[in-house]
Amino acid sequence: MSVGKGPTQIGDGIWAFLWEPGGWGQTNTGLLVDPGSASMVIDTVWDVDRAERTAAETAALVRDAPITEVVNTHSDGDHWWGNDTVPADARITTSSASLHAMKEETPPSGVHAFASLGALVRWVPGPVGAMGGYMNRVRGGATFPRKTPRMPDHTFDVTETIAVGGREVQLRYLGPAHTVGDLVAHVPDAGVVFTGDLLFIGSTPILWHGPLGNWIDALDHLLSLDAKVYVPGHGPVCGTTEIAALRDYWNWADTAGREHFDAGVEAPHAARNMMRSKEFEQFAAWDSPERLILSMSTLYRLWEGKPAAPPTLARRARAFAAAGAFLRE
């Protein structure tokens, strides 16, 4: 059962809107306030009802500090399809790579059509039904916006510092990793970092783009910040211990997966073998462990010498079919 919490204060003038357990589409968002001056929103969610509810809860915290800045941490729809709920005069920032990906992504109407078809065919035996069932799982109970929401109107390439009243937020592009455009937002005066989907905590991560080495380097960067609180894209807030555990997961997946690849084992079977191993036991309780199948499909593609690239609809469909087949078993 998913639980959407109201605003949770995690620092001086900083709130996180957390959604447990952090599964598909259950995105965390954030708010930074400089009282009497200005505010910043970090990420918005794709479910229309939750986006509007979060906007209403945010309004109560920013009565004397209007929202002037918004940050989208990357291009996945569950982190920016709620952009129409922020003030029209607020500036929206993301990385240059992320904005390009947003323009290329399947729009909400297309994902809605894909998910609706999935709900209809999920009872069908074989890959088609398995794919449909998994896509229905990805959407959950979300209602998507009817049109493509407002896109960011400001970008940066590597680093950017944004003033929110008298406070500073340091943005750094650390992708490509989970997606092509992953960035983090660091609030030094509060010791808080919003990480987007570079962190999944208590929830199995997904490598859609790669290379994986970039993600591991990004985790090392997050550890070097030594913040008091990290807000992941999915799951509860955390500290450095949980980040180190995620790094351990990716190092294990890289090593064990490569052994299967070199042995000629197909990606879905490799993932299944890995999830049955003793080494996997420390990660087995994370939400949606079958996502390893999706990540292995990306790693195999990279090990075959193909360039890192965002997943096409066909790539997602094949990966969803394999994950859905695993859950049926």
- Count of domains for the chain: 1
pLDDT number for residue 249 = 98
pLDDT number for residue 4 = 54
pLDDT number for residue 297 = 95
What are the structure tokens assigned to 187, written together? 């609030």
Count Cβ atoms within 10 A of the Cβ of residue 56 and give its class: 0-12 exposed, 13-18 middle, 19 or more buried: exposed
What are the structure tokens assigned to 241, written together? 């211990």
pLDDT number for residue 123 = 76
Q: How far is CA 143 from CA 33, 169, 247, 248, 299, in A?
A: 29, 31, 33, 35, 31
* Residue 54, SS3 per DSSP: helix
Q: Which of 204, 94, 214 is nearest to 149 (CA)?
A: 94
* Residue 62, SS3 per DSSP: coil
Q: What is the CATH number of the domain that holds 240?
A: 3.60.15.10
Which backbone phi and psi does 21 adopt, to 5 degrees?
-85, 5
CB atoms inside a 10 Å sphere around CB 279: 12
Residue corresponding to tokens 């109560």: 60
User: What is the residue range of 285's domain?
Assistant: 3-328
Distance, in Å, from the CA atom of 61 to the CA atom of 161, rounded to the nearest integer, reads: 23
Under-70 pLDDT residues of the chain? 1-5
